[in-house]
Amino acid sequence: MRKIIHHTYIIALLALLVNPLSAQKESLIFNAQIPVRLQSLRQVEDSVQLVMDIDLTNVQIEADRFLLLTPMLVTPQGKELSLKNILINGSRRHKAFMRGIKLNGWESQINEVHHNVINLNETGRRVYRYRQSVGFENWMRNAGMEISAELCACGGYTRQLTFDKIADRIISENAKTYRVSPTVTFICPEVEEVKARSESVDVFLDFPVASTEINPVYGNNPRELQRLEQLLRELHEDKNLTVTGVMITGYASPEGDVNFNNRLSVGRVEALRNYLSMRAGIPFYSYQIEYGGEDWKGLTNLVRNSYIEPKETILSIISFYNPIERKERLKALNGGRTYQYLLHALYPQLRRVVSRIDYTARKFDIDEAKRIIKTRPKQLSLNEIFQVANTYREGSKEFREVIETAIKCFPNDPVANLNAAASALLEKDIIRAEHYLQKSRKNTPEYYNNLGVLEMIKGNNKRAKSLFERAAKTNSSAALKNMEELIKKDKADKQMIN
């Protein structure tokens, strides 16, 4: 039976005397293409501090253009101060920009003008934290915050310029503070009776033409064989583990006769099994073998992730024709030039063996788990990791690190994601909390409660109340506490206005 753990923490929600302002507010800028979440805009002693998150997920810019986002403090009387901007470049524009910076020796000055310089085509995160502080001046008492967005006229396009307000005014350091205490919910994961694990490795062995014999000193074989043997020995010799089987799948590149390639695939995978059973300490009967044959699926993935042209034509040929006709059409493409690239750049990556080692890990007590988590966390169950987390103070650095370890080991587990979301909410990290909640188990009281806390932090109290009410229908004590907090906050806000 799973256990539900509630944690309460304090969040300061700031409210102006005349116009209570939630701690976080989301606005849409640049023709509603860019969500901006204002985390804080307030006077702290003799400075104004701005913190916001800018989401570029849905932004698209032509390769030769740039988009300039400039936050500005603006008064109704027209006085303004521009802060450091964010420069978002298309792919070719970014290359030219960085080349110019390097040629002119401006690397050390780039941060004086730009808060971020972003290549929009780079993969990775698309939400950026903007944090800036400027000296406070008296005129800023009535200032709000706007963001100008300028899409350049580069390449013959029309210049676009927008101004969007994201805050009416700066919160004074004397603004009254109302403290609300949301309660987040963790779930204790179920005990994993059998901790079945696996490790996989791709090995690229070199064979003489038409040969199935493994020569351990031929080509790259010394390095590749050592890599596989080392992994097998480590797992076999680890007293905490029991190796239950080794699956070896051999693949061939799809040139030449298909039957001949299949025979090579069979012979080479059997040769590797025989080689390893004599050297890695794992008995022959523990090995299973599969014959992958010509690896068209692997070729499809390589083509899709390469810069080869015409990419779509190649993928269509692979998709719509039988293996014999595929080969003939690929050979004829671009007068044979495309096939030569495939043959020398991509096909060698298909001549490989995929080895999967299956094993089980024994159970660990708390003290053992606290040691194992530092070096081999994958040997722990989600329940064991959570027990380690509970030896630390909730919200502490150690607690957060353990919860993050859980999500690294079990990235798709709905309970791990719900607990990671709760941990992020303890830190008011709404971006990470939203990410983890999307992968959490839906339609549960714990999910609705934590989603309600997220909405409460964002200042969406009506939405939060609806979620808490939904969780409370199943007698969620955390949701009931959060509903009480919303009532107290609403009452306090009304008193402040009056």
Copy the structure tokens of residue 444. Answer: 């549960």
Return the amino acid letter for 220. Answer: N
Over the range 288-321, which residues count as b (16 or more CB within 10 Å of their CB) and which as e?
A: eeebbbbbbebbeebbeeeeeeeeeebeebbeee
How many of the other CB atoms lie within 10 Å of CB of 161? 11
| Domain end marker among 119, 137, 170 | 170
Please spell the DSSP secondary structure of 228-243, one letter per residue: HHHHHHHHHH-TTEEE
Q: What local confidence, expressed as pLDDT, does residue 3 receive?
A: 52
Q: What local confidence, expressed as pLDDT, does residue 15 receive?
A: 33
Same domain, 235 and 163: no
pTM, two decimal places: 0.62
Same domain, 385 and 355: no
How far apart are alpha carbons 452 and 463 in whole angstroms? Answer: 7
The CATH number given to whatever domain includes residue 402 is 1.25.40.10
Same domain, 152 and 209: no
| Of 351, 358, 345, nearest in space to 250 by CA | 351
**Inside any domain, residue 175:** no
Same domain, 187 and 219: no
According to DSSP, the β-strands at 11-14 and 34-44 are: unpaired
**Inside any domain, residue 11:** no
Same domain, 241 and 215: yes
Q: Are 369 and 393 in contact (CB under 8 A)?
A: no
Q: What local confidence, expressed as pLDDT, does residue 321 receive?
A: 92
Q: What local confidence, expressed as pLDDT, does residue 21 receive?
A: 40
Cα 63–chain centre separation: 25
Q: What local confidence, expressed as pLDDT, does residue 119 receive?
A: 85
How far apart are alpha carbons 250 and 252 in whole angstroms? Answer: 7
Same domain, 335 and 448: no
Q: What local confidence, expressed as pLDDT, does residue 5 receive?
A: 56
Q: What local confidence, expressed as pLDDT, does residue 430 receive?
A: 81
How far apart are alpha carbons 322 and 304 in whole angstroms? Answer: 19
Same domain, 352 and 390: no
Same domain, 414 and 354: no
Give the residue ranges of the chain where pLDDT is below 50: 1-2, 9-23, 497-498
How far apart are alpha carbons 479 and 473 in whole angstroms? Answer: 9
The CATH number given to whatever domain includes residue 43 is 2.60.40
Same domain, 276 and 419: no
Residue 498 CA: distances (Å) to CA of 15, 18, 410, 493: 13, 9, 51, 9
Q: Are 271 and 213 in contact (CB under 8 A)?
A: yes
Same domain, 207 and 335: yes
Instruction: Give the range of the structural domain holding residue 390, as residue numbers without chain letter.
Output: 183-191+381-497
| Of 445, 442, 441, 461, nearest in space to 453 by CA | 461
Q: What local confidence, expressed as pLDDT, does residue 332 receive?
A: 92
How far apart are alpha carbons 74 and 68 in whole angstroms? Answer: 18
Instruction: Name the domain count of the chain.
Output: 3
Same domain, 111 and 75: yes
Same domain, 161 and 82: yes
SS3 content of the chain, % helix, strand, coil (to 5): 45, 25, 30
Q: Are 282 and 276 in contact (CB under 8 A)?
A: yes
Return the amino acid letter for 133. Answer: S
Q: Are 166 and 25 in contact (CB under 8 A)?
A: yes
